Amino acid sequence: MDFQLSEDQRAFQDMARQFAAEHLTPNAGRWDEENHFPLEELRQAAELGMAAIYVGEEHGGSDLTRLDAAILFEELAVGCPSTAAFLTIHNMVSWMVDRFGSDAVRARFLPDLTTMRRVASYCLTEPSAGSDAASLKTRAEPEGNAEYRLNGSKAFISGGGASDVYAVMCRTGGDGPGGISCLLVENGTKGLSFGAPERKLGWHSQPTSMVNFADCRVPSENILGAEGEGFRIAMAGLDGGRINIAACSLGGARAALEAAMSYVKERQQFGRNLADFQSIQFKLADMATELDAARLMVHRAAISLDAKSPDATKHCAMAKRLATDIGFKVVNEALQIHGGYGYLRDFPLERLLRDLRVHQILEGTNEIMRVVISRKLLDG
User: What secondary structure, in 3-state letters, does the chain show?
Assistant: CCCCCCHHHHHHHHHHHHHHHHHHCCCHHHHHHHCCCCHHHHHHHHHCCCCCCCCCHHHCCCCCCHHHHHHHHHHHHHHCHHHHHHHHHHHHHHHHHHHHCCHHHHHHHHHHHHHCCCCEEEECCECCECCCHHHCCCEEEEECCCEEEEEEEEEEEECCCCCCEEEEEEECCCCCHHHEEEEEEECCCCCEEECCCCCCCCCCCCCEEEEEEEEEEEEHHHEECCCCCHHHHHHHHHHHHHHHHHHHHHHHHHHHHHHHHHHHHHCEECCEEHHHCHHHHHHHHHHHHHHHHHHHHHHHHHHHHHCCCCCHHHHHHHHHHHHHHHHHHHHHHHHHHHHHHHHCCCCCHHHHHHHHHHHHCCCCCHHHHHHHHHHHHHHC
363 is catalytic: yes
- List 58, 126, 363, 367, catalytic entry: 363
Just list the catalytic residues: 363
